[in-house]
Structure 1
């Protein structure tokens, strides 16, 4: 059944992040409202999507920092070494903190098999990168999922089927929003993006 907003968390370790996910939904809608449906934050790149999540953390009275330096574990010839790298996002309140490695998946809403395979591939990459972080606090792989239809707006039936597919994917938390006016204007390559989802997995 079509649902324009959803926040679901199955992993107790991620339960604290619920207000940030609700804020992410509101910030996404706010961005689209400002541009009256003519611009969507999630049809851009990974960094643009991370910036919305960072802003959502601040709006939820958390703190956030993007693209900061951190030690990562690298494995070469079965030997582990420490290297300097960057983490996409760290968010925290006064009790909880999460290191987040993000990926984005642009997927066709009318080909659920292809969409599922691409999302799962991005999940694998995100959790792998999160697992490399040399940090004691929870490490999370995050995948922003932006389904699109070509030329014409996606139908309610297509959106419902896509949401059903998302719910069947392995996840520790899953949120989505189908913003008002999201399909008002096409992207530069004539695609319509009816919704965006955020899937989280422990790294």
Structure 2
């Protein structure tokens, strides 16, 4: 199973997460494995999640203006990364990306924890109705060489052991060239969700 939801408030997002997996696979397939939507930046990753929401029958809006709760000098007006909703549920999502060295899960844990804390803090500060969610696109890489099947499985097990509110992952079926311009190989993508 590539989607695990442990937090009941996040359970309604299951069809969106499953569709996100499909959307990543479709993107990689269209480009024959020569381009990956998740090795770019936060906005690229959010756009795939937004598309998955629409494809799953939800509505979605990216990068819209929203007030911020807190010290006006520090927060004031800002933008929210993504809002998705259906007839029953609405989710205000603040996203971050964490690029994680797959061969050093201890260091990866430090990076991921920091990005999770930032995403949930940003979600909490949004002055908007709906369930607030921190989202982190956890993107493992290996420098210079493909990650082994064992390394990929160890990464997925490691993510599951963290017991996030929800986690989804996808390893593309088409993998002729998963190396970026900086000689990093990106074997899979994961999406971590946390209640804010």
TM-score by length of 1: 0.92
Structure 2 gaps of 5+ residues are none
Show CA shifts across 1:15-74 (max 9, x none).
Answer: 111000000000000000000000000000000000000000010011110000111112
Aligned equivalent of 2:31, options 23, 32, 35: 35
Question: Which consecutive segments of 4 or more residues in structure 1 shift more than 3 A?
Answer: none
Paired with 2:18 and 2:178, the residues of 1 have a C-alpha distance of 25
1:125 aligns with 2:125: no
Query: What does residue range 63-142 of structure 1 map to in structure 2 within 5 Å?
Result: 63-75=59-71, 83-142=76-135
Residue 185 (structure 1) shift: 3.5
Q: CA RMSD in A?
A: 1.5
Paired with 1:50 and 1:90, the residues of 2 have a C-alpha distance of 11
- Is this contact kept in 2: 1:7–1:22, CA < 8 A? yes
SS of match in other structure, 1:75: coil
SS of match in other structure, 2:88: coil
- Is this contact kept in 2: 1:182–1:195, CA < 8 A? no
Greater alpha carbon shift after TM alignment, 155-164 vs 27-36: 155-164
Paired with 1:196 and 1:185, the residues of 2 have a C-alpha distance of 12
- Is this contact kept in 2: 1:10–1:172, CA < 8 A? yes
Show CA shifts across 1:116-147 (max 9, x none).
Answer: 11001100000000010112310000000110
SS of match in other structure, 2:127: coil
Paired with 1:131 and 1:171, the residues of 2 have a C-alpha distance of 17
Tell me how many residue pairs correspond in the alignment: 196
- Is this contact kept in 2: 1:9–1:15, CA < 8 A? yes
SS of match in other structure, 2:174: coil
1:149 aligns with 2:142: yes
Aligned equivalent of 1:18, options 2, 14, 37: 14
Greater alpha carbon shift after TM alignment, 180-189 vs 110-119: 180-189
SS of match in other structure, 2:2: strand
Show CA shifts across 1:145-185 (max 9, x none).
Answer: 11001121100111111112111224101110111124623
SS of match in other structure, 1:67: strand
- Is this contact kept in 2: 1:116–1:165, CA < 8 A? no
